Structure 1
Amino acid sequence: MSWYFAYGSNMNEARVSARIGDTQRVLAGMLRDYGLRFNKASKVPGIAHANVVSVLGECVEGALFELSHPQQIHDMDPFEGYPHEYDRELLPIHTSEGVIEAWVYIGTQNRLADTLKPAREYLEHLLAGRDFLSPDYHAALARVDVVEGLDDVTLKQLGLSRHSPR
């Protein structure tokens, strides 16, 4: 069995399905001793993607996908920019069914910056993961400062669309 933990835009199940096909199931999961940051530089200057950083005592909530076949993680790699934009590591994810080792994408050092904000359309994908998040975590995500009003060309550069879940 292979698992993939999504903490960013891939918490949107429709986005994952459009990218890699159907998965077996999805569980709520927590990555302990990591914090969610919007510090991974996108292809558009000033715009962030989500990332996780090691921080003792913090916790990242997200969606844990049981993959239908192991190849699906490789199918996700181009969407995550692996290995240049994100590295991929097996980490323990805490669930109601116990601890499950899953693939987690972590931004590469050369792509991190502290003064970035996510696009509104990007954050909406994270908020679509509501079913996998605690109310407090979801509310905190909803308060993230975002960049508004990007045009369709810029959204496409970010891998986003107002017209498709992908």
Structure 2
Amino acid sequence: MNFNQFLSFIESEEVKERLKKLGAGEVYMESQLEVKNVKSLLVDIPEPALGFNCVGGNAASLVLKFLRQGGTMVTYGGMSKKPITVSTSSFIFKDLSLRGFWLQKWMSSDKAKDCQTMIDYLLSLVHHGKLKYDMEMVPFEDFNTALDKALGKLGSHPKQVIKFE
């Protein structure tokens, strides 16, 4: 699995370093999100055809500005709980497409076999160390703290996995 480009906008240096260790090519702080700043940062990178959005709000709107003619942005989350603003000219002159992806719906559709194949493939990548993710094992007694972390009430944290013993 190769990604020619990986561009991410994040909130902390800690996350930036973690993404770089995972193989991210370009990682920028959210404070650099002004269009003029991003244009200068991306001058040597070809316009992407596909963008992924799990945040919404300004970050998603900015991703749209840098997609190439006929590009597509797939939204699979809305952590900021803010709407995505799209200019009319993006649809008319750049012919951009916006798509949503809801894993639960896909898993319960007639594509369940495809979903299982994908999950098996991803698990094999994890098993062979080619796909990495952060998680924190939490004893059941600390369920309330884990829930607060998972909901972002205590800042940014890895996935919380409750351990029953």
Structure having the higher strand fraction is 1
Interval of TM-score (by shorter of Structure 1 and Structure 2): under 0.3
- Relative to the length of structure 2, the TM-score reads 0.24
Q: TM-score, normalised by structure 1?
A: 0.24
Bigger Rg, which one: 2
Structure number with greater CO (CA < 8 Å, separation at least 6) is: 1
Structure (1/2) with the larger helix percentage: 2
